[in-house]
Chains A and B, each alone.
Chain A
């Protein structure tokens, strides 16, 4: 049942071939069996069971009722989306006991269409990171090549929060792979079959990166299509709520439920949103694909390069026009991101002082002392480091040199995309990440900033320009890990992007991870 796609599950729920209760119990069982992946921070199994029961009750009623688009469907939501009455911690000490009194718009829209929350997923603290290893609840483990053994299952306990804060918390000697970040928990949840779709956020690749590592679809829509009301911000001018799913069609279904103007978010476009379904066929011969040469960056692994080449060649042989293009400022995007990210972080984190919400330190000598102590106890090194760097870049004497400069480079990056699309290219094809999912050991040898600089280079420029992009699993590497390829589209042409991605997915027929064998393990 859990290897169904979202689309299939929704159909089966509608026609009654599976009950919501059965589906819910299966998901909860898978959740329990995969605890050691540490994909969830908060599990809302009671809420899930109640919602599933409610769905079945609605079906049994004699009067016909509107069967909502996602009726009875369990989804997971990254723990930086506010959910009424349910802890939203952003994997940080600062918000570890924060219970929002409101729900994020995109989550509400999914719930209004009958989906229910199975849990809040694990992430990097405040979404700062590209490995999902820097949160207070410990790292997320990639289900691919993960050795689930009964001894592991036995050792699994809920980690007490007081113990976590150090990067090298996990002392297992197993060489497991990271899930990617910062939305690793959501990616792992979908990949391991716990749910049929999940929400993440994408600021520099935080959804596409873990999607590639975990072998699932990761879709970042155009900036302005999905409301950020209720999403705890990292970089307001780049954050986008994003989706994980098993197939491109699934992503499209979720997107259509969530998209559209929100009066609570002034950065959503006010244009009327025209709902769509993706065609099953498309004429590939009308397509013009661009291969940006700068995306062959230093460090690109052979496996990923081969997958990219095979995909480009496949499109060309099928009759599409494929040309090499240039996005000359690509390599500067990540540097630009460092400045803009740190500056926004310095600003966005200024509200954490312990007075209205969040952690509050015990020092009451003065407001300044209280704030400083609260922020020292509440933030990890990564967050603090970005705040200090951001304030450095925003100092009066540095503003022009760094912040204004970064904004100028941002325009150049955005112009790169505009020029390429103006020349007739419909879509760009690139790798999503430099390599397949690294091991935890390898990854933690680097500091957070270096990792981001390396892991986000292909995904980050997309956020600079606001254009939509999607990572689709293409094949496995020589060592059995998934490789994701990225399609980048034009502003507000999300449907076109998804259509092409769907065609590609149909060609490669990527075999999803199947953990059904865990059902037989007691």
Chain B
């Protein structure tokens, strides 16, 4: 008996031999790779030293336990990148890396706009911006971020 129907390799439908199978090129099922947790590093504990250090360099506070969890989750997502083999791959800093940087001629074309520059400053004194004294490290406040932080 001659086979009059074949199975299309793409969509697994059975079609008549004489007809061209029209099957959609759109895949029927999702094909994402499962996360292999053995290949990704663990999320480190965010200890008090790290909290203090990050708050100091960011001049922004974690605020509460939720803030620290947010960071842990971000690290967890970032760690999944280690599933990708990047041996020998040059980091890509800019999509324009092959283009030449535009160079401006050395002419005075800007400035002389003191009013505009100062227009949005909340505090000014005699055309100067005003800041409090600097070089004074942030006071480390006592904050309880709960069980997530080590040795706090």
A296 contacts partner chain B, Cβ-Cβ < 8 Å: yes
Residue pair B120, A332 in contact (C-beta under 8 Å): no
Residue pair A371, B59 in contact (C-beta under 8 Å): yes
A308 contacts partner chain B, Cβ-Cβ < 8 Å: yes
Closest CB in chain A relative to B112 CB, distance in Å: 13
A331 contacts partner chain B, Cβ-Cβ < 8 Å: yes
Interface residues in B50-81 (C-beta closer than 8 Å to A) = 50, 53-55, 57-63, 66-67, 70-71, 73-75, 77-78, 80-81
The DSSP consensus for interface residues of chain A is helix
Residue pair A387, B138 in contact (C-beta under 8 Å): no
Closest CB in chain B relative to A512 CB, distance in Å: 26
Give the CA-CA distance A406 to B131 in the complex, in Å. 37
Query: Taking A297-B30, A297-B32, A335-B77 as contacts, is the C-beta distance between A368 and B59 under 8 angstroms?
Result: yes
**A171-179, A201-209, A213-221, A358-366: which lies at the B interface?**
A358-366
Residue pair A367, B61 in contact (C-beta under 8 Å): no
Residue pair A388, B83 in contact (C-beta under 8 Å): no
Interface residues in B80-113 (C-beta closer than 8 Å to A) = 80-84, 86, 89-96, 99-102, 104, 113
For A479-504 the 0/1 string (1 means CB < 8 A from B) is 00000000000010000000000000
For A408-428 the 0/1 string (1 means CB < 8 A from B) is 111110100000000000000
Residue of B nearest to A390 (CB): B58
For A335-377 the 0/1 string (1 means CB < 8 A from B) is 1101100100010000001111110100011111111100110
Give the CA-CA distance A74 to B118 in the complex, in Å. 32
B147 contacts partner chain A, Cβ-Cβ < 8 Å: no
B3 contacts partner chain A, Cβ-Cβ < 8 Å: no
Give the CA-CA distance A322 to B26 in the complex, in Å. 10
Closest CB in chain A relative to B45 CB, distance in Å: 13
Residue pair A298, B30 in contact (C-beta under 8 Å): yes
Interface residues in B6-64 (C-beta closer than 8 Å to A) = 10, 22, 24-33, 50, 53-55, 57-63
Residue pair A99, B120 in contact (C-beta under 8 Å): yes
B119 contacts partner chain A, Cβ-Cβ < 8 Å: yes
For A329, the chain B residues whose CB sits under 8 A away are: 84
Cross-interface CB contact of B32 among A294, A317, A387, A465, cutoff 8 Å = A294
Closest CB in chain B relative to A484 CB, distance in Å: 16
For A108, the chain B residues whose CB sits under 8 A away are: none
How many residues of B are counted as interface, with CB atoms below 8 angstroms from the partner's CB atoms? 70
Give the CA-CA distance A443 to B35 in the complex, in Å. 24
For A188, the chain B residues whose CB sits under 8 A away are: none
Interface residues in A238-294 (C-beta closer than 8 Å to B) = 261, 263, 266-267, 269-270, 291, 293-294
A19 contacts partner chain B, Cβ-Cβ < 8 Å: no
Residue pair B54, A407 in contact (C-beta under 8 Å): no
Closest CB in chain A relative to B144 CB, distance in Å: 18
A45 contacts partner chain B, Cβ-Cβ < 8 Å: no
Q: Which of A335, A375, A379, A404 has the most CB of B within 10 A?
A: A335
Give the CA-CA distance A385 to B59 in the complex, in Å. 12
For A293, the chain B residues whose CB sits under 8 A away are: 27, 31
Closest CB in chain A relative to B142 CB, distance in Å: 15
A40 contacts partner chain B, Cβ-Cβ < 8 Å: no
Q: Which of A101, A263, A297 has the most CB of B within 10 A?
A: A101
Give the CA-CA distance A322 to B23 in the complex, in Å. 11
A224 contacts partner chain B, Cβ-Cβ < 8 Å: yes
B136 contacts partner chain A, Cβ-Cβ < 8 Å: yes
For B114-133 the 0/1 string (1 means CB < 8 A from A) is 00110111110000011111
B134 contacts partner chain A, Cβ-Cβ < 8 Å: yes
Q: Which of B28, B78, B117 has the most CB of A within 10 A?
A: B78
For A381, the chain B residues whose CB sits under 8 A away are: 63, 66-67, 70
Closest CB in chain B relative to A457 CB, distance in Å: 9
Closest 6 CB pairs of A and B: A407-B91, A466-B95, A357-B120, A101-B116, A411-B92, A366-B136
User: 17 A-B pairs, CB-CB below 8 angstroms?
Assistant: A223-B95, A237-B94, A263-B104, A270-B102, A296-B26, A299-B30, A309-B24, A317-B22, A332-B81, A336-B81, A339-B81, A367-B134, A372-B55, A372-B138, A388-B70, A449-B73, A466-B95
Q: Interface residues, chain B, CB within 8 Å of chain A? A: 10, 22, 24-33, 50, 53-55, 57-63, 66-67, 70-71, 73-75, 77-78, 80-84, 86, 89-96, 99-102, 104, 113, 116-117, 119-123, 129-139
User: Known pairs A270-B102, A309-B24, A391-B57. 4 more at Cβ < 8 A?
Assistant: A223-B96, A237-B94, A332-B84, A368-B134
Q: Interface residues, chain A, CB within 8 Å of chain B? A: 98-99, 101-102, 223-224, 237, 261, 263, 266-267, 269-270, 291, 293-294, 296-300, 305, 308-309, 312-313, 316-317, 322-324, 329, 331-332, 335-336, 338-339, 342, 346, 353-358, 360, 364-372, 375-376, 379, 381, 384-385, 387-389, 391-393, 395, 402, 404-412, 414, 447, 449, 453, 465-466, 491
